Each structure stands twice: as C-alpha cells, then as structure tokens.
Structure 1
Amino acid sequence: METDDPRTPRAWQSTEQRRPADGQAARDDLGELFGRVARGDQRAFEQVYDRLSGPVYGLVLRIVRDPAQSEEVAQEVLVELWRKASHYRPERGSAFSWAMTLAHRRAVDRVRSAQAGKNREVRVTLSQREYDEVAERVHARLEQQQVRHCLGDLTELQRESITLAYYGGYTYREVSALLNVNLATVKTRMRDGLIRLRDCLGADR
C-alpha cells in the first residue's frame, strides 16, 4: 500500500492533528526511532517530529531571531533528519544531541548566508557611490576643459572680462577699472563673449 512521504505538507501537521499509533511508539528511545526512520518508517518519523519540532525551532529561533526564517530552517532540519537518519551513530552521542547539532549548523548557515547577502549589498552600494563620485569628477573636469577650449575662441578683451567677472568675482565697474576700458565697452564685449561661450558649449555637448 502506498504511504505518504514525510516530506510532503502532511508531515508538517501539528501534533494535535495526529494521533499516536500506539503506546509503544511513545516509549521508544529516540535513537531507536532514528533507526526505524532510516528504514523508511513514517510513523517513527512522526514520533521524531513530535519530539524534536519544538526544541529544533526553539534553538533555531535563538540563533536566527526572525520567526518566519526560523520556521523555514526548522522544517529544513526535520527534512534533513528524515533523509539522514541512517547517519546517526549512537556511539558518538545521543540522538537528541545529534539532531540539535544539525539544527545549530543549519541556523548558523542561514545567519551567515543572510550576513553575506548584506555584505554584498553594502559593497555594491559603496562601489556605486565611488563610481558616482568618480563620474562627477570626470564630468566636472571635462566641463572645465570645454570651458577653457571655448574661452580660447573669444577675443582677448572678452576672455579677460569674463574671467575677471565670473571667476574672479569682480563687478563690471571693477573689471572696467582693472582693464582700463570704458564700462559700456566692457558690458558689450562681455555680453557678446557670453553668447559665443554659450553657443560653443552647447555645440560641444
């Protein structure tokens, strides 16, 4: 007769939804139960599940902290106990300790995996930030080169007037005095120079 695989959802029913087959199963030693599970005994696995699901979840929760992830890890541990029941060796310790060791290992692996994911996100964020900073510096440098190139196409008076006004912070009147040029001429030359500069930068972009 076909039996249910303990790895299916039916195997994760609560204790209240299952009835022990008989009183003998409750008296079986956990190590003996693992021996029966190794031979494919589903009822034995149900007894293992009833005994270990609570302790396994409690241990995992203390390590993982997150309840939802702890439930996932606890189920993974119980599936692993079903699959690896034949690996249990009584001479190496109690069956309970062996099961808790598997649970601890799974929980630690989950924490390490989550931390590794966070570390990758941090590295990606830092790399993106560094890339943005470099890109900004390159862009600024290119703009400076474009401005110098376009300033080179202006007349000497236009170039000097714009440099003093926009890079030196001088007023029109101060530029006029520094260059010893009529104020109206300075304003006109600067206006014409700015138009040429704008057109040059616009063409370069």
Structure 2
Amino acid sequence: MIGRVALGDRRAFADLYSATSAKLFGVALRVLKDRGEAEECTQEVFIRVWHAASRYQVNGLSPMTWLITIARNRAIDRLRMRKTGPAGLEEAAEIPSAGPGPEELALAASDRERIVACMGELPEDRADAIRRVYLEGETYKELALRFDVPLNTIRTWLRRGLLKLKECLTR
C-alpha cells in the first residue's frame, strides 16, 4: 500500500488509513495522554505519510514499524513543544532519539504476548523504565528522579534492557 501511496493512489491511502489508524492513534495516545492531541497527531502522521511514502525503504523492517516510528516521533515532537522555558528544553533534549525499538517491532508484528514475556524477563524497575520512556514519553531526567538514581544509571538500564529485549525477541 505504501508503494501505491507513493505514486499518489488515494484509494491505497484510504486503505492504509483504515488498516493502521487505530494502532497509530494508540501509539500517539500512550505518549501524549490526551485524546484530542493524539487525534491531531495521528492526522499529522498521515499527512507526513502521504508526502514521505516515496522515501520508505524496505530494509528488513515492516511497513508498520516505519509507520509506528513516524507516529512516535511526531508524538514526542508534540511533547517537546509542550515544554517551555530553559528547563523544559533541557528535558526535551533528553528524550531518546526514536528508531524502531524492540517494543515497536513487536507491536508492528502484532506479537504482544512475545513482548510481554520478554519484558517479564527484565527486573521490574528496568521494565518499568523502558515502558515509561518508550511508551509514555518520559525523559531520562524524569526517570532518574522517579527511580532516585543517577542519570547515567538510567541510560545504562535502558541500553542493557533494550539489548536483552532484542536478544529475547530474536530467540
């Protein structure tokens, strides 16, 4: 469908919207926690898809992973815009760069049970930190305060946790 959208096929775009809008809205809602803003974000995602479909490259990742990444990036951009003042900008800069992570790969493959099982293999605080940063859009700084650990410890938790998730998901 994305290939046909790249050629300007409006019917393919409508089909793509029907097939993916609920999931992409869910991604935006988890990050933004505001239904109206998530709806606007989802609309922006589809505008971007219409204009960027020709740039989609098949590189081993599913088309759904590409769409989820666009939705997550757009939602995080909206979070960054919410934060005002120097402290807000500093926190927004610490939002991790988006790329298809293990949880997005599992969502894209509609394999929720697998990701839940793999998250269960992580220590509870590490799994909670991963959920909060990648699904709820919390910053590293917010996690460090929440878990009362240094910022570099949070970075280490997330990096190691994602590596373990990746290993588990490839088994």
- After TM superposition, the score normalised by the length of structure 1 is 0.41
Q: Look at both structures and tell me which one has the larger radius of gyration over its CA atoms.
A: 1
Q: Name which structure has the greater RCO, CA cutoff 8 Å, separation 6+.
A: 2
